[in-house]
Structure 1
Amino acid sequence: MRKTDITADAPAISRRKPILITGGAGFIGSNLADRFASEGHDVLVYDALARPGVDRNLEWLKKRHPNRISSVIGDIRDETAVADAAGEAQAVFHMAAQVAVTTSLVDPREDFEINIRGTLNLLDALRTRNERVPLIFASTNKVYGDLADVELEKTNDAYKPRNPAIRDAGIGEGRPLDFHTPYGCSKGAADQYVLDYARSFGIPTCVMRMSCIYGQRQMGTEDQGWVAHFLIRALQGEPITIYGDGCQVRDVLDISDAVEAYACAWKQIDAVQGHAFNLGGGPTNAISLRQLIRHIEDVIGRPVETIYSDWRAGDQRYYVSDTRLVTQELGLKPPVSWLKGVAALAGWLQQERGLPRLEASGSRLQAAEALS
């Protein structure tokens, strides 16, 4: 476990009742922190900085918001440090997690400690305050298992459900929970703890069961953040490994839309407390891995080499979020088109990594510049 280090400016901001974001230097956390600091809130970032590249996100945040962003470099398993960080928070966004199915299979005990014990540390810190402090939790579509009972057919390089209701709307919140892999178990258990602390202790909590979120400040790897990972490999002229046949489908959601959903959940916490929502791009932003690679080739203006390997444990052949409930309850606008969002991410990654300028200067790159 990493030793906790509180930066010099953290105590001052703590006295101003900050928004606490665990995992706040990560992809979604840093975008949330930027949003709230831009709105004039003080933000306390709690992060172990264990994921490669996230230290750059923290540096970026502090440079943009030197008087609004404070940080605690600490582990979510450190009960005392978590309690201290949550002690004055006006709201908590819990993003800190072990995020990879593959890693959970290698070390399930650490996965348990981070995702379940870490979440309980945070929940109990709020419970013992005896105040109504909102907590919004980043859960996952993996709580629904591998969805093996959903009958599929393969059309145009993508799996599609035979059931027209699922094909048209996606997987809804009424789907039975079915935890697979240690990661699915740990995130699913944490998901249920968060909901139960609303029932049992009156803490205003809300759960977002996310599909695939992508966008700026994502340090994608083979195990997590596949949209950014594919783009990084393609931009660097490196092959992309596809596990399975590449026809598996996910709905993808631009980070700007995800941040808006989290912000709306906080603003409307009295109405949505104790509820879980499926958060993703929905059927209009549902794509297969093969379809994404074809679009990347259009964006960068050259072919992408692909290598195929065996399916990975727990991989869903099809998952698309039914977003009707979250859209209705939070009043969300239609999401950014995946074509524009992926092009925008390509432009940002090219600049962030100092890669040669993209040559495919058509409408997709114009969209990228408009959104970046």
Structure 2
Amino acid sequence: MNMLVTGGAGFIGRWVVKKLLDENHSVIVLDNLSNGRLENIEEFKDNSNFKFVKGDVRDKDKLDEIFKDKFDIVYHLAASINVQDSIDDPETTFFNDAVGTFNILERARFQMFGKNGRMDGDSWILDSEENTYPCKVVFMSTCMVYDVSGSEGISECHPIKPVSPYGGSKIAAENMVLSYYSAYKLPAVVIRPFNTYGPFQKTGGEGGVVAIFINNVLEGKDINIYGSGSQTRDLLYVKDCADFIVLSGYSDKADGQIINAGTGRDVTINELADIINKGKVRVNHVKHIHPQSEIMKLKCNYSKAKKLIGWKPKYTLEQGIEETGKWIEETKLLK
């Protein structure tokens, strides 16, 4: 099959690309490299089934050009992903996450039903002169749309409560995705992975908490925790996340659905620091930059993913941290 992965040079995107290529699909990656990095996809450059295009999901002309290739599945991962940045610059986040998603949905609709196609009741009347081709959109949302979790974990029916423009933009995009499924019968699914970590995640200030903590320990630097550290996260290893994303595209049962992915185990940031640090460096608690954007408890109920598409996580937190630590250490030795 022919796949488009937007944001495919990003941390999670490169693992999705790897899995698709390993399964012998053709993959085009569209990425503007604002967050993604070419080194993430360096290993694929000689693969005849792989192509990289530098471009932006806000660029309609670029999208029109790319969609001249017909795609079986569009894995739409491109987004502004930093919660704190979204508070400081909400416009960029909104246009990337909500408007960019709309642009992708329109191209998928044109591909599947043509620009001249029209709905008659709940059926499509297509123009026989147009070269149409079926297409599915997998939209990657986030657990950051949810209200705080109870002890039982967050299911897809859990209340949403965006506490940042990032969460708000993702909900806006989700609603557009589901509206295209309902209004146009465009196959589409909204997926909400919980906090993902693993190899290829950035280790600097813009990276994830696991990567930052591991990197600091390796470099003998203090670990700084925003606020009390009592906030919890359900940490999903990136290989499990990529499996979930790809499976969501393969399964017709996922169409029209919102599906979570996580481990069902949450840890406080203080506990996470202890697991990674083992007393090697000092741990400090520092003032939170934007405390209003903090969700104090995130714990996933992934039973719908298990029932609907047969997915469940394979890695424990400790196994994922060990693999991530080895990768970060090996990467440092290569520099």
Deviation at 1:293?
A: 1.1
Q: Aligned partners of 2:313, 2:57: CA distance in 1, in Å?
A: 34
- What's the RMSD between the two structures over aligned residues? 1.9
Q: Does 1:327 align with 2:306?
A: yes
Q: Aligned partners of 2:287, 2:179: CA distance in 1, in Å?
A: 40
Q: Aligned partners of 1:282, 1:221: CA distance in 2, in Å?
A: 27
Q: 2:280 aligns with which of 302, 312, 326?
A: 302
Give the secondary structure class of the aligned counterpart of 1:318: coil
Give the secondary structure class of the aligned counterpart of 2:333: coil
Deviation at 1:132?
A: 2.9
1:219-368, aligned counterparts within 5 Å? 219-268=202-251, 270-283=252-265, 286-298=266-278, 302-310=280-288, 312-354=291-333
Give the secondary structure class of the aligned counterpart of 2:235: strand
Code of the residue aligned with 1:84 in structure 2: it is: E
Change in CA separation of 1:78 and 1:25 when aligned onto 2, cut-off 3 Å: same
Q: Aligned partners of 1:355, 1:24: CA distance in 2, in Å?
A: 24
Q: Aligned partners of 1:90, 1:123: CA distance in 2, in Å?
A: 14
Q: Aligned partners of 1:317, 1:61: CA distance in 2, in Å?
A: 39
1:28-177, aligned counterparts within 5 Å? 28-51=12-35, 54-63=37-46, 66-87=47-68, 88-129=70-111, 130=113, 131-145=133-147, 147=148, 166-167=150-151, 169-177=152-160
Deviation at 1:309?
A: 1.8
Deviation at 1:334?
A: 4.2
* Matched-pair contact (CA < 8 Å) for 1:25–1:55: yes
Give the secondary structure class of the aligned counterpart of 2:234: strand
Code of the residue aligned with 1:291 in structure 2: it is: E
Give the secondary structure class of the aligned counterpart of 2:139: strand
Change in CA separation of 1:278 and 1:221 when aligned onto 2, cut-off 3 Å: farther
1:136-171 CA-partner distances (Å, limit 9, x unpaired): 1110112124x3xx6xxxxxxxxxxxxxxx31x301
Give the secondary structure class of the aligned counterpart of 1:36: helix
TM-score by length of 1: 0.80
Code of the residue aligned with 2:190 in structure 1: it is: V
Corresponding residue for residue 12 of structure 1? none
The size of the alignment, in residue pairs, is 313
Give the secondary structure class of the aligned counterpart of 1:89: coil
Q: Aligned partners of 1:334, 1:114: CA distance in 2, in Å?
A: 29
Deviation at 1:223?
A: 4.4
Q: Which runs of 5+ in 1 are unaligned?
A: 1-16, 151-165, 357-372
Give the secondary structure class of the aligned counterpart of 2:293: coil
Deviation at 1:62?
A: 1.6
* Matched-pair contact (CA < 8 Å) for 1:242–1:307: yes
Deviation at 1:335?
A: 3.0
1:42-98 CA-partner distances (Å, limit 9, x unpaired): 11010011127x2211223325xx212101101111011123223311211011000
Q: Aligned partners of 2:248, 2:50: CA distance in 1, in Å?
A: 22
Code of the residue aligned with 1:351 in structure 2: it is: E
Give the secondary structure class of the aligned counterpart of 2:175: helix
Q: Aligned partners of 1:256, 1:19: CA distance in 2, in Å?
A: 19
Code of the residue aligned with 2:23 in structure 1: it is: E
Q: Aligned partners of 2:138, 2:64: CA distance in 1, in Å?
A: 17
Code of the residue aligned with 2:52 in structure 1: it is: S
1:176-234 CA-partner distances (Å, limit 9, x unpaired): 22222211111110111111111111111111112111111111443452211221222
Percent identity (aligned): 29
Corresponding residue for residue 121 of structure 2? none
1:88-114 CA-partner distances (Å, limit 9, x unpaired): 112110110000111111111111110
Q: Aligned partners of 1:136, 1:193: CA distance in 2, in Å?
A: 12
Code of the residue aligned with 1:273 in structure 2: it is: D
* Matched-pair contact (CA < 8 Å) for 1:236–1:355: no
1:8-47, aligned counterparts within 5 Å? 18-47=2-31
* Matched-pair contact (CA < 8 Å) for 1:247–1:288: yes
Change in CA separation of 1:175 and 1:333 when aligned onto 2, cut-off 3 Å: closer
Q: Aligned partners of 2:312, 2:158: CA distance in 1, in Å?
A: 24
* Matched-pair contact (CA < 8 Å) for 2:214–2:277: no
TM-score by length of 2: 0.88
